[in-house]
Amino acid sequence: MRSRYSAYVLGLIDYLLATWHPSTAPGELELGPVKWLGLEVRLAQAMGEAGVVEFVARYRDAGRGVRLHEISRFVREHGRWLYIDGQMQGPD
């Protein structure tokens, strides 16, 4: 999760697509002009080859502060963790 957050901060679209599971990956990815402010990992659990990460990422978009609270699912294939999908959470 931390490496994917860093990829969003740095605009590394190729890395984001490479760490997305092929069954759910978008064909293309565009990143908006946002300023990322921080990441808080609230929970990280691995259960064999599956994993769950709950996080809150903060960013600024057009001067407005935004909090992205998500529970993400990952799967490990060939030794690499791949992002499957995420479920947005309501306000804290």
pLDDT in tens, 43-74: 999 999 999 999 999 999 999 999 999 999 99
Residue 90: pLDDT band with limits 50, 70, 90: confident
Which helix (H) or strand (E) element contains residue 13? helix 13-18
Over residues 14-24, the mean pLDDT reads 97
Q: Which of 7, 6, 36, 25 is nearest to 83 (CA)?
A: 25
* Per-residue CA distances from 21 to 2, 60, 66, 85 (Å): 17, 27, 26, 9
**What pTM was estimated for this model as a whole?**
0.90
Long-range Cβ contact pairs of 43-50 (< 8 A, separation 24 or more): 44/1, 46/76, 49/75, 49/76, 49/77, 50/74, 50/75, 50/76
Which domains are assigned to the chain? 2-88 (3.10.450.50)
